[in-house]
Structure 1
């Protein structure tokens, strides 16, 4: 076994979303100054939306982290990586399911959620750094049935695990960081780890007495409670931001430290974000006897649960498609009646009503013929993928 090298990492959702963020200028200045101290080799950031914020980060980190990559996707993905070692490749993997364009109050579809990858060369080791921001939760946790994006979030995490399984062999070590909007006990988090053979640094850290690691709605965060709480049943908050890793044959990785970082902005009482940053240090070594991770014993049962959820989601999509077709037919009949009768004698009012009905009918038909077809086919593809995976779940 050869001497190892350390890889120091940090991930943070910076809360840079337009209109809803607070104290952005002060917070981003602090984040940039702290990260420029050079304590981390690789930094993954989410919700860096404004070009000016990304430029600020690039300027401050130009000496310590001269290699950086912004994953351009949708209107703005907000996802970027900074590294102190060369980035030799990059790629984007788009999710087959990602909210809906109708949900104007939710930015997931417009940000076009994706999994970003940069391959770095760190002190002789080739490392894949994956990062993402999985679609958000908009309803309190105990209202799971009303969480319309639950199946999309599950699909995204399942697709991440498949991508890491298929692409991960191109490097010595794989690291996955980001905001997953999924609890440690969630099906999405469990199948992600089991299917890709990932380890969570928080579970592997030797400093386990440092707390339970809540990163969202933390009770010590000054921004908790400014908007509706998703995790109101958990007063201390919830851990939804993660750093995970796995290795390939011939390499051994050990987590030597994992903790929350960038907790407070001095002399202000503010936090750098509404999320907490997670940092970790991995010790990487050549080890001829080391083997690739074995499949989790829980994987078959997890895949059964995933298949059930995808099938329920597929049926729900088909039901919504029927509802849209039924509504389009009713509105078409109403439009026909308005045109042939004198129910509305005022020409202007009749024109406005007719135009409105035509617009709604067009949206319904788009939903029936395009949007729901895309969604249903995506779930069908995922179902077939899960069924194939179940047949060979004992192998990677």
Structure 2
């Protein structure tokens, strides 16, 4: 059996933020209705009406769908399938930006990993869809990435969610906008910990080399955005189709290509991202029990997950340094709150000089004091404890992996 699976970040922000959204959503729906796709994972479908438009348009070829409505903007994730969706679940990421960074907006959008269990003619397929925290600098300069820790913890949580919910499945598909490049620690850890294969790296059509999905200068919608790579047309690869098979099944990626690029007869692109289309061939092994050829996340088959101990150690080191940074930031936030509070007391004496000036002074300093107080005593405290908890979870996972290596010799 061959499955054509596609992922696309649709850039569907409302209020005119995303250019040509209405027109593009109609064309996205029209393209998905061609019948060329079997399983579809979409991100940034922020508006329910856009989902309903696509759903009504593709109902004859993709009759099964689910929209995950979480966060202020519904999470933006939805899936469509040729086969019945028999179960759904999701996990909201523990860290996802900050509320005061309104123009970035990640905190408000309910970033998550979503799961749809699909019955593909008796084969149990787990399809995961995700959209990680936005990438504002290239992955190769992590020291300038203020949200490296958030993205790292998100993709670790993704890998744990996949690993712990994929039991009993015959095929796993993990699709979406990871906002991390292939060589980044976050992406490598996600692949390794969940024991997944990258459809781009394992594709049969190696002659096809155009795989960059974002920040492309040939994408008209990306030209008005801030580019990480201003002097190249290559862009970044941050959208993926990962996969793995289990039990009596084996999966192989026949080909992976970019899709849904420019709208036919127009210079307008479907989105500021390129779609990623993979053809996965799934074969049932002759041995129905799958004893001889069964695949496992723990097999010594040369897959990236063999690097897991070192990747976990590196991730633990990154999180440990971040905890120290958060502690330092927390101390300064508290000191700033205390300093602003003392300045606020001066407004009492200013009242005798100018009531208007005293009012402005009091209101401004009250807001600033409240901000630093909340950040120092609530926000950063929550982040510190969350990162610490995830780091401790990584240590448990590392201990278990190292023990398996000692016992099994691999």
Which band: TM-score by shorter chain?
over 0.9
**Equivalent residue for 1:60?**
57
Please name the residue that 1:90 is paired with: 88
CA shift digits 1:88-108 (9 cap, x unpaired): 000011111111111111121
For residues 26 and 87 of structure 2, the distance between their equivalents in structure 1, rounded to whole angstroms, comes to 29
Distance in 2 (CA, whole Å) between partners of 1:233 and 1:263 is: 21
Partner Cα distance (2:268, 2:206) in 1: 27
In 2, Cα distance between equivalents of 1:128 and 1:364: 43
* Mapping for residues 233-252 of structure 1, pairs under 5 Å: 234-252=232-250
1:318 partnered with 2:327: yes
Structure 1 stretches lacking a partner, 5+ long: none
Q: CA deviation at 1:205?
A: 0.9
- Shift of residue 124, structure 1, vs aligned partner: 1.2
**2:339 corresponding residue in structure 1:** 330
Instruction: Identify which range, 287-296 or 90-99, moves more after superposition.
Output: 287-296
Q: Is the 8 A contact 1:318 1:376 kept in 2?
A: yes
- Say if 1:307 and 1:235 are closer, same or farther in 2 by CA, change over 3 A: same
Indicate the SS of the match to 2:174.
Answer: strand
Superposed counterparts of 1:163-242, under 5 Å: 163-232=161-230, 234-242=232-240
Instruction: Decide which of 370, 373, 376 is 2:381's aligned counterpart.
Output: 373
Partner of 1:75: 72
Larger deviation, residues 220-229 vs 149-158: 220-229
Distance 1:139 1:10 in 2: 26
* Equivalent residues of 2:9, 2:273 under 8 A apart: yes
1: distance between equivalents of 2:140 and 2:157? Answer: 25
Tell me what 1:6 maps to. Answer: 2
Distance 1:355 1:266 in 2: 55
Q: Secondary structure at the match of 1:192?
A: helix
Residues 347-394 of structure 1, C-alpha deviation per residue, up to 9 Å, x if partnerless?
A: 122122112212221222111221111100111011111111111225
Distance 1:342 1:389 in 2: 59
Superposition RMSD in Å: 1.7
Superposition deviation, residue 113 in structure 1? 0.7
Provide the C-alpha distance between the structure 2 equivalents of 1:344 and 1:53, rounded to a whole number of angstroms: 58
Q: Indicate if the aligned counterparts of 1:71 and 1:80 stay in contact, CA closer than 8 A.
A: yes
Q: Is the 8 A contact 2:5 2:39 kept in 1?
A: yes
CA distance in 2: counterparts of 1:171 and 1:46, whole angstroms: 24
| 8 Å Cα contact 1:33-1:60 kept in structure 2 | yes
Work out the CA distance in 2 between the residues paired with 1:233 and 1:102.
32
Say which is worse superposed, 231-240 or 210-219, in terms of deviation. 231-240
| Distance in structure 2 (CA, Å) of the matches to 1:78 and 1:99 | 16
Secondary structure, counterpart of 1:235 in structure 2: coil
Residue number in structure 2 paired with 1:110: 108
- Work out the number of aligned pairs and report it: 391
Structure 1 residues 269 and 176, CA, compared in 2 at 3 Å: closer, same or farther? same
Give the Cα separation in 2 of the matches to 1:344 and 1:145. Answer: 49
TM-score (norm 1): 0.95
CA-to-aligned-CA distance 1:187-240 (integer Å, 9 cap, x gap): 111111111110000111110111140000123212232121123365311110
2:370 is equivalent to residue 362 of structure 1: yes
Using the alignment, how far apart are the partners of 1:116 and 1:273 within structure 2? Answer: 21
The counterpart of 1:294, out of the listed 291, 294, 298, is 298
Q: Does 1:350 find its partner at 2:358?
A: yes
Any idea what SS the aligned residue of 1:103 has? coil
Q: 1:344 to 1:375 in 2, by over 3 A?
A: farther
TM-score, with structure 2 as normaliser: 0.91
Contact 1:140–1:232 under 8 Å retained in 2: no
3-state SS of 2:401 partner: coil
The answer on whether the counterparts of 1:169 and 1:248 sit within 8 Å (CA) in structure 2 is: no
Equivalent pair of 1:137/1:230 in contact (CA under 8 Å): no
Shift of 1:146: 2.8
1:332/1:135 CA distance change after superposition, 3 Å: same
> Structure 1 residue aligned with 2:271, among 270, 273, 278?
273
Structure 2: any 5+ residue segments left out of the alignment? 300-304, 406-410
Q: Are the equivalent residues in 1 in contact too, given 2:139–2:180 (CA < 8 A)?
A: no
Would you say the 8 A contact 2:350–2:358 is kept in 1? no
Structure with bigger RCO (C-alpha 8 Å, 6+ apart): 1
